Amino acid sequence: MNSRVLISEKGIGLNVGIYRLLLKQCYSTKDVNKIDDVDADETPKYLDYKTPEEQEALLKKRNKSNLRPQDRNRIMGVKPYTESMLWIHDTVRFKQRTVGRYGIDSLDVPVGSIWPTKEEIDDKIDYENTGYPLSVQERWKLIEQRHKEAEEKIQKREMEIAKNMSMVDKWQKDLTDKINKKEREMLAAKERKERLVEEVRRQFGFKIDPRDERFKQMIEMKEKEDKKLKKAAKKEERSKKIMAQLMEQSKSVTTKKEEQPKSSEKQQQNE
């Protein structure tokens, strides 16, 4: 009895599950056959049944850019003008540019009409030979040479800068020494001036005004005497240097004379 009850309960459970699945399939709210707006064709099917005038008017209404036809054609990658609007549109140069930009189909004339003639090609070759006489390889060599010269110039300049930077300390020292020397000379001149003034005052035996003519004359005399003494000291120093050089030369001559007989004696012994 218990087994029958269990079997019946299992059967009821299976029937309920199948019933629920059937309900989901029969009462689904999703529309499988619905067409999405994105999948719809942008061009309506009935456009083929309209006349060319009606199609043009319809396309004009659909154009919401408010651009001029030639501008819109340029954006769309189409030839701007379907017919010549200016005299330049009939020139060979304009048609060549049109073919290069929009393709051969954009031409309203045979393609051979825009091809350059033999005379034009010869003129172009002569112009290139005159304006650009060097070949591509020669131009590359010239460019490489210029780059090499520029690099050498930069390297030379960098070496000069490095050399100058290494001499900065020496130059600073030389400048400091020069300034100190100038200051010492100025201080010595000032002390000499004061010493001369003091000597002149001692000679007069009383205080005298530096603006007095006698004082000025005496100062000039003292300065001349100092200059003579300095000149004599320089002359004496110069004479001493000359004498030292002469002594060195005489010593070198005597040593050479002493070496000559020795060398002659050696030669005689060797013989």
What's the length of the chain?
Answer: 271
Render pLDDT for 184-241 as a digit per residue (tens, 0 to 9): 989 988 887 777 777 777 776 666 666 767 777 777 777 777 788 888 888 888 888 8
Token pair, residue 143, equals 């460019």
Token pair, residue 209, equals 């005004």
CA–CA gap between residue 32 and residue 8 (Å, rounded): 38
Q: What is the model's pLDDT at position 19?
A: 52
CA–CA gap between residue 113 and residue 90 (Å, rounded): 11
pTM, two decimals, is 0.34
Q: Is the pLDDT of residue 151 over 90?
A: yes
